[in-house]
A and B are shown apart, each in its own frame.
Chain A
């Protein structure tokens, strides 16, 4: 009797370990996560407009159909990235995700407070290497630090009614995400 109880207990404890291990490993091995899906359609360091979700096909599950969206898949190993997104009439947001689809930063048009959301994306190391005077002369520069070398930037503009979708799309189409020039 005692032996069976011990066996069951041991099984449950080991089961708990297996459970935690699979939960932690899963995001690293998933092949259908958002980043892997977009890897097939989105080139690195360029803005790619995503097709609107339809009942027949959707670039990713649970996309908001009221938004025009685009992604920029980035790789910071060659240096920082510059991003500029013109603001559309209704609501525009830029969200940053790590390689494993964790959202680490987001900004919207009102927080940016300008006609164009402009920012620079770099790793913590690249930020630390920036000459200090450059940091001061450009106090209004918005710098975002990425926790990972690669990741995703989602650029989205709301069309409050379907008729405004072309406008939201054209705002997104003018967004740019490019390798910043090498510091001299």
Chain B
């Protein structure tokens, strides 16, 4: 029983990506502390399990979204719209991964956008359509996979450990426009 409870809890904690001090804004979550020496044991073992290098806090902050604003998991067969603005940063990048952290093959070889590539409205806001079907404007193809993860990385930004969700840190909304 002890082994089942203990290992079960460990497995759950690692697959759910549990760690202390999450910063959640809308559908987006970041763990700024994970990119510092103060990374807690949960963060450390989930990093070791996945095999990635966390974004160091002096470099930037990575926000992850795996569900839309209503909490529904992101489905690569639907049309999902990201609309809004990002917190102040010198650069940002948006990347689409499968749940294992690999890029997803598609006909245009587009795996994400950088803040310089994006086409914006006059007021600086932008709209990115994440869908398997070709789309005018900022189109991020999903390759039609079932589940995916969006990662928005802010580089050289003031967002960090002491940031609280609020007006200074606006993140783009994630809404499902249509689902076949």
Q: Which residues of A contact B (CB under 8 A)?
A: 7-8, 10-24, 26-27, 30, 32-34, 36-37, 53-56, 58, 60-67, 90-91, 93, 95-97, 100-108, 110-111, 147, 152, 154, 156, 158-161
Contacts of A90 in B (CB 8 A): 91
Q: B44 contacts A100, CB within 8 Å?
A: yes
Closest 4 pairs (CB-CB, A-B) = A18-B6, A15-B5, A61-B101, A106-B58
Taken together as a complex, chains A and B put the C-alpha atoms of A11 and B153 apart, in Å, by 42
Q: B102 contacts A108, CB within 8 Å?
A: no
Q: A100-B48, A101-B47, A161-B114 are in contact. Are A152 and B53 (CB under 8 A)?
A: yes
Contacts of A63 in B (CB 8 A): 52
The reply on B7 being an interface residue by CB < 8 A is yes
CB within 8 Å of A: which B79-113 residues: 90-91, 93, 95, 97, 100-105, 111-112
Q: B2 contacts A101, CB within 8 Å?
A: no
| Interchain pairs with CB closer than 8 A, number | 192
Taken together as a complex, chains A and B put the C-alpha atoms of A22 and B36 apart, in Å, by 22
Q: A64 contacts B53, CB within 8 Å?
A: no
The reply on B49 being an interface residue by CB < 8 A is yes
Q: A54-B103, A102-B39 are in contact. Are A14 and B51 (CB under 8 A)?
A: no
Q: A19-B10, A95-B59, A158-B91 are in contact. Are A27 and B114 (CB under 8 A)?
A: no
- Could you say which interface size class chain B belongs to? 35 or more
Taken together as a complex, chains A and B put the C-alpha atoms of A18 and B5 apart, in Å, by 8
Question: B45, B102, B105: which contacts A23 (Cβ < 8 A)?
Answer: B45
Residue of B nearest to A18 (CB): B6
- Provide a sorted-by-A list of 17 A–B residue pairs whose CB atoms are within 8 angstroms: A10-B2, A12-B5, A16-B5, A18-B2, A19-B7, A23-B42, A26-B14, A27-B48, A103-B35, A103-B39, A106-B57, A108-B156, A111-B58, A156-B59, A158-B114, A160-B114, A160-B115
Taken together as a complex, chains A and B put the C-alpha atoms of A54 and B95 apart, in Å, by 12
